[in-house]
Structure 1
Amino acid sequence: MNTLKIHFLGASGTVTGSKFYLETPDLNLMVDCGMFQGLKELREINWAPLPIDASKVDVVLLTHGHLDHTGYLPRLVKEGFRGKIIGTAPTLAITEIILLDSGKIQEEEATKANEEGYSKHHPAVPFYTVDEAKNTISKFESAEKDKWLPLSDTIKLRFRYNGHIIGATFIELDISGKIFVFSGDVGRIHDVLLSKPEKPQWADYLFLESTYGNKLHPKEDVEGMLVDLVHKTITNGGNLIIPSFAVERLQSLMYTLWQLFKKNKIPNIPIFIDSPMGNNVLSVFQEFPEWHKLSSAEYDAMCTHFNIITSYSDTWKTIDNPRPKIIIAGSGMVTGGRVLTYLKQMIDKTSTSILIVGYQAEGTRGRQLLDGAHELKIYGKYYPVKASVNHLESLSAHADQGELIDWLNEIKNIPENVFLIHGEPSALDIFKVKIRDVYHWNVTIPKLNDTLEIIL
């Protein structure tokens, strides 16, 4: 009797660190290989050896390029992985940008921590280096979406368009005739840049993200809030800081602000884009036009409207510029990146507005700001929060509960099991009840490092 063993190595009982390891009679597969972010006890898991033998992993399959789905790849290679890493071409392009940027940031932060002595580790070392990221990238192999790709005599897979970010997919794995569907992160039905997600038609076993399994995104007046914040910024003679994810969110914000200017709803206030990684992602939009809605003419016109910062010296010139302005900078959860430089200089000013967009994981500075923190710790020092903090939830790139339920409605069979992953405990519990009520399916919430055997 052939069996498959699945190990839930991440995004199980939490939102980050997506890693699912499948031991089959033919091959050993890993779906996603993400880094844990947020709470300290989660981040510390990154440094612990995997509870599996990395050298026995034959193939890694990537749903999309975000760090919490790809950021552990260089460590997997360091632990002995020698196989292929397969994803769509734009996913691999995004992953390359993210891994190189992440390696650079980790090297810089380790150096800074050692120079200023604020790390508890002596010496502080990067989680991985740029060279280790480059070694990982050499193992990339792209696959077309919608086409079945054989991995062995009994295993084939298919990548299906999923919105969320450019290149993102859900994965259908056919293993000995049983269909395993890994949702990845499901995108929005209505997105300014991306088409609506495609839907699975069959799933014997479904691994379903639950980030917003307990919520419906509010029907916010996004344009109205942005217009109000821009006028407030001009009136106060201050700065509007928008921490942004470099992939998709940054481009969506650019598009929305550009449209507001074109409609004469906001004046020609200077808008600075300070995200080296985000700038690189813009080139991916240019390279893969079939993966998004923007025409090449729209893309070119949009980009010329913004001040794209390319050097750290220009970051300081922007800070020293006394004019009211908008600054969009990474990272989206305020965990690192250029946005920290701006916040250190501006968060203690009442003329500053901060706009938080999208999901903020537990333990991140973004979540602390949303929870009303009176001070923020940045590189070992505390800074008082006197800026106004605003929140736009509806710009999230994740489907909400209603959209996730809708995403399931073309599945023709009754799955043998639905595993809820990539969600915080309250979201998982509520979403489990909702799926049972709507579809009457068997639903399981796996815990971190759970293993399960499935008969093929």
Structure 2
Amino acid sequence: MKVTFIGAAGTVTGSKTVVESNGIRILIDCGQFQGIKPLRELNWNPLPVLASSIDFVLLTHGHLDHCGWLPRLVSQGFKGKIYCSSATKEVAQLILLDSGKIQEEEAERANKEKYSKHEVAEALYTVAQVEKVFPHFRVVKTNEPVSLDAEISAVFVNAGHIIGACSIELQLENKTLVFSGDIGRDNDVLMFPPTKPKKADYIFLESTYGDRLHPDTDAKAELETYINATFAKGGTTIIPSFAVERAQTIMFLLWQLKQEHKIPDIPYIIDSPMGVGAFDIFFNNLKWHKLTLEDCKAMSRMFVMITDYKDTIEAIYNKGPKVVIAASGMVTGGRVLSYLERYIGLPETTVVIVGYQAEGTRGRKLLEGAKEVKIYGKYYPVEAKIHEIEGLSAHADQKGLLNWLSELENKPTKVFLVHGENQPADELRIKIKENYGFDCSAPLMGQVFEI
């Protein structure tokens, strides 16, 4: 058996791991690289294995860094099946369609305004290419084995993190390989705690927050403080947010604050077709989260939900105080950029960062105190107040990752740390060795291991 790490090794995005056994090739996740330019450029490269030679894709969840390269995979000849939970299929379809649309729009805008370094800017993939992915999806039930081949099966189990997210237990050659996917928190506002593995010979564990602990702070109280302070200045609060789970978590907290009469009676806007669509997925998949149908209905009444870009323009030029939740979560694209073009240079504006910001993203630059940001080829001075609410991460922290390993009944042969930058992965490696004595390493991009 051979395992090749072709993404999310030494970095947090582009999750892709190839498992080869007895002539069968399985790709665990098929994510898009995000962040610094050298990583983004990898999205244009073909895989080190032929796409047509891959038999199956097993998808842990629907975030872009786990599913966002599927259109390229299919366009390069993949003809196999993509297995995932029902909710992940819905999320992935939503996110991929939105991504394809953004790719097309940004290429068109770059060509029109001539700010691309390329003679002709091209989309990484189009909406039409996205739609060709959908016939490959196959929905699986959680906790039930799925037969991939005569001697290969997989079990998908709840990972928390976002709606539909799963860890995957792969059985082959009398061994159990466990792929964590992204692991959620035991005390998440919306998601149920992740299921911990009981047996594993090899573990492929995410390490996004491998070097830190989430602060024991009150995210709801922080939101209250920032919104009221901004309102007092007559300003706008902008919350760049991942459209799936994070946007709904923010909505839930704002809804609670509004019920408690702790925040002002101003417009609360969800400006993201994907965020609105994701809320529909919450309605349709109640078993995946803690909200009741009544909660969902009551929350939806509080917010102005924008899908049409004409309404975005109207909201942007509305001078009154407001709170806007808009994608993308790392400020890499989407409608949040349109708001920031107008508001980032105003000192009465507050930008609240509520999730992980990968290296090289605008969100990371804002957190690091950038004095200006580049948006659509132009530079804008940063005069807005930038705040971070760390307690809202959908990822387990170092303690949570260690706890996820706590119910193993056997000592795994090896733990591979993926989906993390080098320092977090290495600090987690040390902690796992100290706590459990497991052999542990952080593979490099392109590294191959024989099992």
Q: State the TM bucket, normalised to the shorter chain.
A: over 0.9
The answer to whether the aligner puts 1:367 opposite 2:364 as a matched pair is yes
Residue aligning to 2:353? 356
Residue aligning to 1:157? 154
The one-letter code of the counterpart of 2:159 is N
The one-letter code of the counterpart of 2:356 is Y
Partner Cα distance (2:89, 2:280) in 1: 13
Aligned residue among 37, 45, 54 for 2:51: 54
**8 A Cα contact 1:26 1:154, kept in partner:** no
Deviation for aligned residue 1:399: 0.2
| SS in structure 1 of the partner of residue 177 of structure 2 | strand
The answer to whether the aligner puts 1:96 opposite 2:93 as a matched pair is yes
The answer to whether the aligner puts 1:138 opposite 2:135 as a matched pair is yes
Residue aligning to 1:74? 71
Partner Cα distance (1:407, 1:451) in 2: 26
Residue aligning to 2:327? 330
Residue aligning to 1:419? 416
Aligned residue among 215, 237, 241 for 2:238: 241
Partner Cα distance (1:214, 1:12) in 2: 16
Residue aligning to 1:261? 258
Residue aligning to 2:219? 222
The answer to whether the aligner puts 1:207 opposite 2:192 as a matched pair is no
Residue aligning to 1:86? 83
**Cα offsets for 1:81-113 (capped at 9, x unmatched):** 100011000001100001111011101111111
Partner Cα distance (1:308, 1:343) in 2: 19
**Cα offsets for 1:368-387 (capped at 9, x unmatched):** 00000000000110000000
Q: How does 1:244-323 map to 2 (within 5 A)?
A: 244-323=241-320
Instruction: Structure 2 unaligned segments of length 5 or more: list them.
Output: none
**8 A Cα contact 1:161 1:168, kept in partner:** yes
Deviation for aligned residue 1:176: 2.1
Residue aligning to 2:184? 187
Partner Cα distance (2:370, 2:349) in 1: 16
| SS in structure 2 of the partner of residue 138 of structure 1 | helix
Aligned residue among 168, 171, 176 for 2:168: 171
Partner Cα distance (2:396, 2:299) in 1: 26
| SS in structure 2 of the partner of residue 163 of structure 1 | coil
| SS in structure 1 of the partner of residue 29 of structure 2 | strand
Deviation for aligned residue 1:268: 2.0
The answer to whether the aligner puts 1:65 opposite 2:62 as a matched pair is yes
**TM-score, with structure 1 as normaliser:** 0.98
Partner Cα distance (1:180, 1:46) in 2: 27
Residue aligning to 1:340? 337
The one-letter code of the counterpart of 1:186 is I
Partner Cα distance (1:203, 1:179) in 2: 5
Partner Cα distance (1:91, 1:129) in 2: 21
Partner Cα distance (2:73, 2:110) in 1: 25
Instruction: Structure 1 unaligned segments of length 5 or more: list them.
Output: none
Aligned residue among 447, 450, 453 for 2:450: 453
Deviation for aligned residue 1:202: 0.5
The one-letter code of the counterpart of 1:223 is K
Deviation for aligned residue 1:269: 2.2
The one-letter code of the counterpart of 2:31 is G
The one-letter code of the counterpart of 2:398 is Q
Aligned residue among 36, 39, 42 for 2:36: 39
Aligned residue among 122, 126, 136 for 1:125: 122
Partner Cα distance (1:168, 1:129) in 2: 25
Partner Cα distance (1:33, 1:301) in 2: 36
**Cα offsets for 1:210-253 (capped at 9, x unmatched):** 00000000112212211111111211001000000001000000
Partner Cα distance (1:269, 1:400) in 2: 34
The one-letter code of the counterpart of 2:149 is S
**8 A Cα contact 1:233 1:325, kept in partner:** no
**Cα offsets for 1:4-59 (capped at 9, x unmatched):** 11110100011110000111105210000000000100011111111111111000
| SS in structure 2 of the partner of residue 55 of structure 1 | helix
The answer to whether the aligner puts 1:405 opposite 2:402 as a matched pair is yes
**Cα offsets for 1:361-409 (capped at 9, x unmatched):** 0000000000000000001100000000000111000000001101100
Residue aligning to 1:21? 18
Partner Cα distance (1:370, 1:220) in 2: 18
The 10-residue stretch of structure 1 (242-251 or 267-276) with the greater mean CA deviation from structure 2: 267-276
| SS in structure 2 of the partner of residue 277 of structure 1 | helix
Deviation for aligned residue 1:267: 2.5
Q: Which runs of 4+ in 1 moved over 3 A?
A: none
RMSD: 0.7
Deviation for aligned residue 1:296: 0.7
| SS in structure 1 of the partner of residue 132 of structure 2 | helix
**8 A Cα contact 1:202 1:411, kept in partner:** yes
